[in-house]
Amino acid sequence: MRKWGLWALAGLLLGLALGAAWRWPRASLRWPPPEATGVPTRATLEVAFNAPVDRANVEARLRLSPPAEGTFSWLGDVLRFHPRRPFAPDTTYTLSLEPGAHSANGLPLPGAHWRFTTGHPRLLYLLEQEGHTELWQIDPAGGQPRRLTYEAQGVREFAASPDGRAIAYAAPRPDGGADLWIIDAEGHNRRHLADCGQDDCGGLAWSPDATWLAFERRPLSRPASGGIGPVFAAPRLYLVDLAAGAVRPLFDDKAQLGASPRWSPDGQRLAFIDPNLGAVAVYDRGSGQLTYIPSQRAQLGDWSPDGRALVFTQLLVPTHPEGEAESGESGAIAFSRLFRSALDGAPPTDLSGETDTEDASPLWSPDGAWIAFGRRQAQRGQQLWLVRPDGSQAHALTDDLNVNHGGFAWGPDGQTLALVRYTLIPPGARPAIWLIRADGSGLRPLVEGGTLPAWIP
């Protein structure tokens, strides 16, 4: 009995020791995996703790080398670091938790070091082959294109998450609508995001922290019949909670319509077009307040990187003093003009100047110094232009009037833009994705037949 008692005591002590070790606070790098390579330059770093910790104490002892500015957020016991600017491409970083951090009950956290290596930005795009459109990826620095999706009805649109880890896309159904799906950046782990039934879903927009996806949902109004396609009603806005997989409308009021959602950089506001009014609206998720920017027949563009302004276009109809519509030199009686709103209730600022032009598709540069947009003059091909946010220094980056330019996408470094070109003369030419530097140099082809370019950081 004495021998068995000693063994039992030893087992008890060992169990207590193992239990104490298991409960002892420790940290692990959840994303990216330690020693990972090819990490997106806008990746959100995630450090997981096995017990509640003193959050301020931990944040003060987290170090990154080379240094990078950013902000912290928490999801339960997971600390997330959001870089303010992209990490340097093809660079090895060391993330360290210095000694001195402790858990919520005062137990010390061991120091830790993790390394990862970034990759460099790649380009996503749609490519139609033999009447079938799928999602592809290419490395602009070299390498072969890679097909990412294999959908029976193809892919209509897509959106990459801000951290570069996932891609959401709308896949059409045989009945004419579309459902939402998600894959990782390599095209794997496909899963359903939203089963839209008979409705049509699209207009995808990721929240900055990649935890929510906003989208448009157009209810079926009339199904396809007699060779005529389905008719869908005006859209409402919905949200997908990416962690829970839950889908819900943004507004409980079914009369509140919405299209073209755009998240503010801090993720607290959602701008969209109200189809009832044709105006730009901004919804504050914290207060639930909905405000409108003075606008009409508007097309939403982009938030400024600091979240203090929105740029958009609106269709204006100039008139004679007698009230009749007036046409310009191009013969048009309505003009799409570029506007910036400071979100302070004041009338938006006209950035198009006094020119008789058609301006479209404004997109802020990552550093906020420029706004890229398309400009068409005298019924010629649309060109790529840049303008300062105050309307100054407007200039063209392309000048081939027989070629239409669109689908603009700033590279993460703000030095390169992707664009889609197709020739007007002769008609019927295939589109192609090209790259150009922000100073107008280095225009070069990248993908024949590609459309809708978007960078994955």
Q: Are 181 and 191 in contact (CB under 8 A)?
A: yes
Q: Indicate whether 328 pLDDT > 90.
A: no
Q: Tell me, what's the pLDDT at 236?
A: 98
Q: Which residues in 269-283 are b (16+ Cβ under 10 Å) and which e?
A: bbbbbbbeeebbbbb
Residue 115, pLDDT above cutoff 90: yes
**For residue 325, what pLDDT band results from cuts at 50, 70 and 90?**
very low
Contact assessment for residue 50 and residue 131, using Cβ atoms and an 8 Å cutoff? no
What integer is the mean pLDDT of 353-357? 80
- Distance (Å, whole) CA 83 – CA 42: 7
Residue 326 pLDDT > 80: no
State the chain's mean pLDDT as an integer. 91
Give the list of residues 6+ apart from residue 321 with CB closer than 8 angstroms, or none: none
Report the C-alpha gap between 386 and 115 in whole angstroms.
39
| Amino acid residing at 339 | F
pLDDT score, position 16: 41
Span 435-444, mean pLDDT?
97
- State the Cα–Cα distance between residues 213 and 74, nearest whole angstrom: 19
CA–CA gap between residue 262 and residue 281 (Å, rounded): 10
Rounded Cα distance between 81 and 62, Å, is 10
The dotted CATH code for 122-456 is 2.120.10.30
pLDDT tens per residue, range 218-243: 999 988 877 788 899 999 999 999 99
Of 165, 186, 205, nearest to 80 by C-alpha is 165
pLDDT in the model for residue 26: 93
Reported as a single tens digit per residue, the pLDDT across 48-71 is 999 999 999 999 999 999 999 999
Contact 434, 114 (CB under 8 A): no
Residues whose CB falls within 8 Å of the CB of residue 438, separated by 6 or more in sequence, listed in order:
365, 370, 386, 397, 414, 415, 416, 417
Between 12 and 61, the higher pLDDT residue: 61
Rounded to an integer, the average pLDDT of 124-135 is 95
The SS3 call for residue 10 is: helix
Contact 314, 295 (CB under 8 A): yes
Q: Residue with structure tokens 């990649």?
A: 210
Q: What is the mean pLDDT of residues 143-166?
A: 96
pLDDT exceeds cutoff 50 at 14: no
Nearest to 262 by CA among 245, 297, 237: 237
Q: Is the pLDDT of residue 385 over 50?
A: yes
> Do 122-456 and 25-117 fall under one CATH topology?
no
Q: Which helix (H) or strand (E) holds 87?
A: none
Q: Please report, as a single letter, which amino acid is at residue 291.
A: T
Question: Which residue ranges make up each domain of the chain?
Answer: 25-117, 122-456
pLDDT-derived band of residue 312, with 50, 70 and 90 as boundaries?
very high
pLDDT digits (tens, 9 = 90+) for 199-213: 999 999 999 999 999
Question: What values do phi and psi take at 232, rounded to 5?
Answer: -115, 145
- Model confidence at 10: pLDDT above 90: no
Whether residue 165 contacts residue 133, with contact meaning beta carbons closer than 8 Å, is answered with no
Confidence band (pLDDT; 50, 70, 90) for 2? Answer: low
pLDDT of residue 189: 97
Q: Does domain 25-117 have CATH number 3.40.50.300?
A: no
Binned at pLDDT 50, 70 and 90, residue 13 comes out as very low
What is the bridge-based pairing of β-strands 395-396 and 403-410?
Answer: unpaired
Is a pLDDT exceeding 70 seen at residue 9?
Answer: no
Q: Is 8 exposed, middle or buried (0-12, 13-18, 19+ CB in 10 A)?
A: exposed
Long-range contacts of 184-188 (CB under 8 A, 24+ apart): 185/40, 185/137, 185/160, 185/456, 186/148, 187/135, 187/137, 187/146, 187/147, 187/148, 187/149
pLDDT bracket for residue 346 (50, 70, 90): confident
- pLDDT band at residue 1 under the 50/70/90 scheme: very low
